[in-house]
């Protein structure tokens, strides 16, 4: 079966010259013998790519190929390779200016092997406590160095980091090629839930239960925050669901801290004497649903 030059380069029959050149550059890099030492299949594929490009990059040859197919060489088009297949030496030497393949593609280390390339990144995931995400901190992991040695590593966590964010640790990825630098270690962060606190951007939210008596008379309660315990004043007659703002006790970030919002939840006693219920009913309290509409 004759070779389909368009399929070889992975382009459509209507591809522009720029598309053909780009496809050729990519494939030539991939299959170049210097990048695949000792791999005869890569060498053969490189020759196919070179042959396809030599035809499709020449408007006259491409036109004849489109009209007559691979047999255009017998229709007067001539064999672009002189009837002897692809000669790598002639390919490298015939690309202009004496620079050969290295000059055309930016060089492969002066013809002595692949040019230096950075190694690929490694990926990992790490769970951190809710408090570490809020205030910042660090964690310890064991990593593999580029030369294959396992070692402990201390990783710093910036304050305010969000769920799913990534931390880059330079130099702990796959080893580089041709003397290039190693890749990086990319750690995706998973923040554990807190039993009481939730986060909303740079703010923290906390629900605090109080008794009915505390709601009626007012009080001062102690609550824990990420930074210290604080005394929170509850005004008399506070409604359930009321939010109290505590400035600068939220999530830490570069320019300061967010706020803490405490939502009050009135907790009724398990049982209330009927006499007290009667007294409350006698207060003739307006209906709390008076303004409830559709």
pLDDT in tens, 7-35: 999 999 888 988 998 898 889 888 887 77
Residue found under tokens 């009927």: 274
Mean pLDDT of the 38-66 span:
86
pLDDT digits (tens, 9 = 90+) for 196-246: 999 999 999 999 999 999 999 999 999 999 999 999 999 999 999 999 999
Q: At what angle do helices 17-31 and 40-56 cross, to 10 degrees?
A: 160
Domain boundaries, the chain: 5-105, 122-191, 197-281
Q: Which CATH architecture has domain 122-191?
A: Sandwich (2.60)
Tens-place pLDDT, residues 247-290: 999 999 988 999 999 999 999 998 989 988 888 888 878 888 88
CA distance 93 to 181: 31
pLDDT tens-digit series, residues 134-187: 999 999 999 988 888 899 999 999 999 999 999 999 999 998 888 889 999 999
Q: Are 204 and 141 in contact (CB under 8 A)?
A: no
Q: Which fold would CATH assign to domain 197-281? A: HSP40/DNAj peptide-binding domain (2.60.260)
> Is 0.85 topped by the overall pTM?
no
Q: Do domains 122-191 and 197-281 have the same CATH topology?
A: yes
Residues 132, 135, 138: CA angle, nearest 5 degrees: 45
What is each CA distance from 11 to 5, 19, 203, in whole angstroms? 9, 7, 53
Residue 173 · residue 122 · CB < 8 Å: yes
The Cα–Cα gap between 150 and 67 comes to: 61
The CATH number given to 5-105 is 1.10.287.110
72 three-class SS: helix
Q: What is d(CA 152, CA 252) in angstroms, rounded to the nearest whole number?
A: 28
Q: What's the CA gap between 199 and 197, in Å, rounded? A: 7
Q: From 2, 57, 3, select the one nearest 25 (Cα to Cα).
A: 57
């Amino acid at each position: 079966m004759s070779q389909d030059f368009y399929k070889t380069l992975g382009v459509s029959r209507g591809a522009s010259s720029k598309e053909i050149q780009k496809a050729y550059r990519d494939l030539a890099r991939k299959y170049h013998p210097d990048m695949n030492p000792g791999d005869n299949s890569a060498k053969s594929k490189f020759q196919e790519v070179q042959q396809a490009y030599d035809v499709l990059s020449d408007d006259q040859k491409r036109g004849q190929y489109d009209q007559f197919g691979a047999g255009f060489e017998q229709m007067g088009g001539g064999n672009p390779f002189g009837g002897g297949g692809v000669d790598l030496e002639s390919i490298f030497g015939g690309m202009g200016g004496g620079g050969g393949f290295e000059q055309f593609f930016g060089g492969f280390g002066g013809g002595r092997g692949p040019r230096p390339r950075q190694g690929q990144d490694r990926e990992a995931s790490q769970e951190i406590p809710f408090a570490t995400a809020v205030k910042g901190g660090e964690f310890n992991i064991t990593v593999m160095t580029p030369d294959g040695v396992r070692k402990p590593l201390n990783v710093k966590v910036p304050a305010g980091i969000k769920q799913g964010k990534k931390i880059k640790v330079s130099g702990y990825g796959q080893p580089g090629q041709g003397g290039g630098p190693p890749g990086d270690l990319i750690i995706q962060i998973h923040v554990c839930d807190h039993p009481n606190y939730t986060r909303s951007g740079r703010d923290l939210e906390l629900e605090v239960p109080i008794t009915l008596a505390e709601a009626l008379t007012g009080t001062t309660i102690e609550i824990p925050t990420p930074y210290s315990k604080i005394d929170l004043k509850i005004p008399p007659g506070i409604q359930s669901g009321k939010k109290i703002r505590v400035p600068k006790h939220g999530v830490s970030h570069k320019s300061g801290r967010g706020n803490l919002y405490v939502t009050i939840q009135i907790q009724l006693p398990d049982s209330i004497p009927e006499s007290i219920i009667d007294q409350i009913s006698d207060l003739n309290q307006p209906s709390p649903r008076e303004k409830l509409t559709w």
